[in-house]
């Protein structure tokens, strides 16, 4: 774990040495008076679901099964009615004042062009600053990295990433591909994915183990694969999830691009056919531009150099998962090895700060999910090893995770990734 703690120390020193100017992002949809509650569903799935439906409430976690936890967003006009409806149930408050939590999270650090250093991880950032950070990081290592794009989003934004390689040169080794911010509101995933890229690039010349990883694989890191949705969370509605694609015959916007991949898309029960639902699968498989373009990029990489590892980073729940999402009984060809590696990664994560991750197949660990990137990458994209993770936390903050947890989340996630890179065959 030497490299983990050495990098953590570097970040702490950098944070102490530089106190960046603060800037606040543009105003967003007001959440004044909103609260977020967690309800222990126990054996009352139908009752909790009915409360959500009747009060037309937004959920961060839906009451999908007995024993589940439902995280529910309640506007001020419905707080009293909600509290009366759940009287006698086990209820905790995640956010007493959601607006205040969002305001605290959204105090972005000013970013100076050319300063791709460890202070970046002191706060969250605007979309344009994320693009500049990648450009600056690449410019710092011009002979070992390149900016790449995986096509454009629905609104025409390039899906931008960074590709870096080791001593053998560009495109000579099997690839590792990381996606994050698939769901727009999962800001911690953007930062953690960039943390992994930063760690691998900046320590290549000083850490023999990291050098061995980068010499062995080409890395493609895409911090924001849903740029339209991500921008919308920063300029309008912080808790937006889907892309921003219109839907014929409906005023509701967006597809869940992690229910839109062309593998087991038509299986029922793992996504919604309602355009207004947050897990809307689309009218047809891969009818979201983002999904089509990301799939084409993966195919191209697989064809030209091979694909060793694909990970789709999400939040929140603290899970490290394997295929499949579409079925709780089907087993991937490498099921036993994948499950073992996921368990090892979870243990490595816990060894850093004690953060507990649960591991196992998607369907049985979190819920059924059809048309997912992980199932597609495993069976169609041809990734030799395929995982998805739900990062911090388990519900104390949910999607609105304080910036103070960026570095710890990055450090422990690196430990999990390090385990995979050391133990994949």
Q: What is the residue-level pLDDT of the chain in tens, covering all 425 positions?
A: 434 434 444 444 343 333 333 344 544 567 999 999 999 999 999 999 999 999 999 999 999 889 999 999 999 999 999 999 999 999 999 999 999 999 999 889 889 999 999 999 999 999 999 999 999 999 999 999 999 999 999 999 999 999 999 999 999 999 999 999 999 999 999 999 999 999 999 999 999 999 999 999 999 999 999 999 999 999 999 999 999 999 999 999 999 999 999 999 999 999 999 999 999 999 999 999 999 999 999 999 999 999 999 999 999 999 999 999 999 999 999 999 999 999 999 999 999 999 999 999 999 999 999 999 999 999 999 999 999 999 999 999 999 999 999 999 999 999 999 999 999 99
- Residue 122 phi/psi, 5-degree rounding, is -80, -20
Active site residues: 390
| H-only helix segments in 73-186 | 79-85, 98-105, 127-140
Locate 167 and state its tokens. Answer: 């001593």
How far is Cα 72 from Cα 167, in angstroms, rounded to an integer? 50
If one counts every other C-beta atom within 10 angstroms of the C-beta of residue 57, the result is 16
Residues 150 and 225 sit within 8 Å (Cβ to Cβ): yes
Residues 89 and 40 sit within 8 Å (Cβ to Cβ): yes
For residue 373, give the nearest of 177, 229, 130 by alpha carbon: 177
For residue 383, give the nearest of 322, 304, 298, 312 by alpha carbon: 298
pTM attached to this predicted model:
0.93
């Amino acid at each position: 774990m030497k490299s983990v703690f050495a990098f953590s120390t570097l970040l702490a020193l950098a944070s102490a040495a530089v106190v960046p100017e603060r800037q606040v992002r543009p105003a967003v949809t007001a959440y004044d008076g909103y609260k977020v509650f967690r309800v222990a569903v126990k054996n009352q799935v139908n009752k909790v679901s009915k409360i959500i439906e009747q009060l037309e409430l937004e959920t961060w976690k839906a009451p999908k099964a007995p024993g589940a936890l439902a995280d529910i967003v309640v506007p001020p006009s419905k707080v009293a009615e909600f509290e009366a409806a759940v009287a006698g149930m086990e209820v905790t408050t995640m956010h007493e004042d959601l607006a205040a939590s969002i305001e605290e999270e959204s105090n972005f650090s000013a970013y100076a062009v050319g300063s791709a250093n460890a202070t970046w991880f002191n706060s969250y950032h605007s979309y344009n600053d994320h693009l500049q950070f990648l450009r600056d990081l690449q410019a710092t290592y011009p002979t070992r990295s390149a900016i790449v794009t995986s096509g454009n989003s629905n609104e025409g934004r390039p899906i931008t990433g960074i590709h870096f390689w080791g001593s053998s040169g560009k495109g000579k080794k099997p690839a590792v591909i990381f996606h994050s911010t698939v769901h727009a509101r999962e800001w911690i995933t953007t930062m953690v994915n960039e943390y992994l890229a930063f760690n691998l690039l900046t320590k290549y010349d000083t850490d023999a183990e990291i050098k061995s990883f980068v010499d062995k694989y080409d890395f493609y890191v895409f911090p924001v694969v849903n740029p339209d949705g991500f921008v919308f969370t920063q300029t309008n509605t912080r808790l937006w999830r889907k892309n921003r694609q219109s839907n014929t015959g409906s005023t509701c916007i967006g597809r869940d691009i992690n229910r839109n991949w062309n593998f087991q898309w038509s299986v029922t029960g793992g996504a919604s056919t309602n355009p207004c639902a947050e897990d809307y699968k689309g009218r047809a498989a891969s009818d979201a531009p983002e999904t089509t373009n990301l799939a084409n990029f993966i195919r191209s990489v697989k064809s030209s150099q091979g694909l060793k590892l694909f990970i789709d980073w999400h939040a929140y729940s603290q899970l490290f998962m394997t295929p499949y999402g579409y079925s709780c009984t089907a087993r991937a060809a490498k099921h036993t090895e994948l499950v073992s590696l996921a368990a090892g990664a979870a243990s490595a994560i816990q060894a850093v700060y004690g953060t507990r991750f649960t591991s196992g197949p998607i369907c049985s660990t979190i819920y059924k999910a059809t048309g997912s990137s992980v199932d597609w990458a495993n069976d169609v994209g041809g990734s030799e090893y395929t995982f998805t993770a739900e990062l911090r936390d388990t519900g104390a903050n949910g999607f609105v995770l304080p910036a103070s947890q960026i570095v710890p989340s990055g450090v422990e996630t690196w430990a999990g990734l390090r385990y995979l890179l050391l133990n994949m065959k």
